[in-house]
Amino acid sequence: MLIKFKGSSLQFTLSKVFLFKKQLCFFLVSLFISFSANAQCAMCRASLGGEANKVQAEAVNDGIVYLMMIPYLLVAGVAYAVYRMKKNSK
């Protein structure tokens, strides 16, 4: 069933809603799909280079990624708290 609306403002609003849904879907998909990342600084790479330290290099990579996630989670938590305060004040 196809519904046609007359009026440009309603059409503009519907296009914004569909755009928001598409962006939300892309964000959720990219959030749950992860790729392997080699997150080493130059000093860590130089000291852990070679085949002998492969397990240690992977552990350092995991630690760097873990430490990198914490600030993003804190900022997201603060942003959510501000959003809730503004939503409740209206």
Are 40 and 61 in contact by the 8 Å Cβ rule? The answer is: yes
- Measured CA to CA, the distance from residue 59 to residue 69 in angstroms comes to 16
Mean pLDDT for the chain overall: 77
φ, ψ for residue 67, nearest 5 deg: -65, -30
- pTM here is 0.42
φ, ψ for residue 4, nearest 5 deg: -105, 130
Give the burial class of 39: count Cβ atoms within 10 A of its Cβ; 0-12 exposed, 13-18 middle, 19 or more buried: middle
Instruction: Please write the tens of the pLDDT for every residue from 3-15.
Output: 555 555 555 566 7
